[in-house]
Amino acid sequence: MERIAFIGAGSMAEAIIKGWIDKNCIANEHLFITNKSDQDRLETLQQAYGVQILPNKSMLHDMDCIVLAMKPKDAKEAMIAIAPFLNKKTVVFSVLAGISIATIRSFLGNRPIARTMPNTSATIGMSASGVAFNELVDEQLRTTCLTMLQAIGTVVEVEEDQLHAVTAFSGSGPAYIYYLLEAFENVAAEVGLQQDVVRTLMVQTLAGSAAMLQTGNEEPATLRRKVTSPGGTTEAGLRALEQHEVTAAIAACVKSAEARSRELAQGI
Residues 24 and 127 in one domain: yes
**Residues 89, 145 within the same domain:** yes
Residue 198: predicted pLDDT: 96
Interval 218-234: pLDDT, tens: 999 999 999 999 999 99
- Inter-residue contact 19 to 127 (CB < 8 Å): yes
- CATH number of the domain enclosing 249: 1.10.3730.10
Q: Is the pLDDT of residue 268 over 80?
A: no
Confidence of residue 132 (pLDDT cuts 50, 70, 90): very high
Examine the domain organization and report whether 206 and 148 are in the same domain. Answer: no
Tell me the residue range of the domain where 31 lies: 4-159
pLDDT > 80? residue 89: yes
**Distance in angstroms (rounded) separating the CA atoms of residues 165 and 169:** 6
Out of 136, 159, 182, a domain closes at 159
CB atoms within 10 A of CB 7: 27
150-168 residue pLDDT tens: 989 999 999 999 999 999 9
**Are 150 and 181 in the same domain?**
no
Q: The domain spanning residue 54 has which CATH number?
A: 3.40.50.720
Query: Does residue 237 share a domain with residue 130?
Result: no
Region of 215 please: left (phi>0), alpha (psi -120 to 50) or beta. alpha
pLDDT at residue 25 is higher than 80: yes
* pLDDT, mean of residues 105-118: 95
How far is 115 from 8, CA to CA, in rounded Å?
Answer: 16
Question: Given this model, what pLDDT does residue 50 score?
Answer: 96
More confident site: 33 or 2 = 33
pLDDT confidence of residue 2 = 82
pLDDT in tens, 32-61: 999 988 999 999 999 999 999 999 999 999
Shared domain for 31 and 94, answered yes or no, is yes
Total-model pTM: 0.86
Average pLDDT over residues 203-223: 94
Phi-psi region of 216 (alpha: psi -120 to 50; beta: other; left: phi over 0): left
Q: Residue 128 pairs with which residues in a beta bridge?
A: 154
Judgement on whether residues 154 and 113 belong to the same structural domain of the protein: yes
Out of 114, 137, 159, a domain closes at 159
Q: Domain tally for the chain? A: 2
